Amino acid sequence: IAHTTWIEDNVQQSRAKVLNVGEELIQEVLPLHMGQALYELYGLKASRWYEVKISYPASIPARFSIAIVKDNATIVFNLGRRLLNTEKQIFKADKIVPDASAYGKNFALVSVEPAGIVAKSHLKEQQFVIFNI
């Protein structure tokens, strides 16, 4: 899968951000066109259900997706219904094996793309999108 190498590269180069259980990251920024970010899900406990949720401004027409990735394989990809200005992914954490590689770790791969055009002709199309996760 194409994102496998991208994930491995980001983990090896320590570009994955840490998303701790129960904490929210505010005002994260991604390029609106083909923006991607990798978040290591830290503090998970085995056999428990978790939710990764994104909220973003309604004024920016964007479509987010969240893929839960473990051992460089996508295990959950947006299957649920989409809510206005939010995107969420629910998953169950399996065995948690902490080590220095990506093996045994869980990640959230966040992607964004434009979902339309700005309705007001005097406004420029946004270059970046701000979101909370």
Cα 26 to the chain's mean position, in Å? 13
The residues of the chain scoring below 70 in pLDDT are: 1-14, 71-83, 95-104, 118-120, 123
Give the per-residue pLDDT at 20.
96
Q: How many angstroms separate the first and last alpha carbons of the chain? A: 25
Q: State residue 52's pLDDT score.
A: 94
Contact yes or no for 90/51 (Cβ under 8 A): yes
User: Which residue segment(s) compose the domain that 55 sits in?
Assistant: 2-131
Instruction: Read off the tokens for 67.
Output: 């893929």
Q: What is the pLDDT of residue 9?
A: 63
Task: Indicate which CATH number applies to the domain containing 18.
Answer: 2.60.120
Looking at residue 69, its pLDDT comes to 86
CA distance 25 to 107: 15
What's the pLDDT score for residue 1?
Answer: 46
Instruction: Count how many domains the chain has.
Output: 1
Task: Record the pTM.
Answer: 0.79
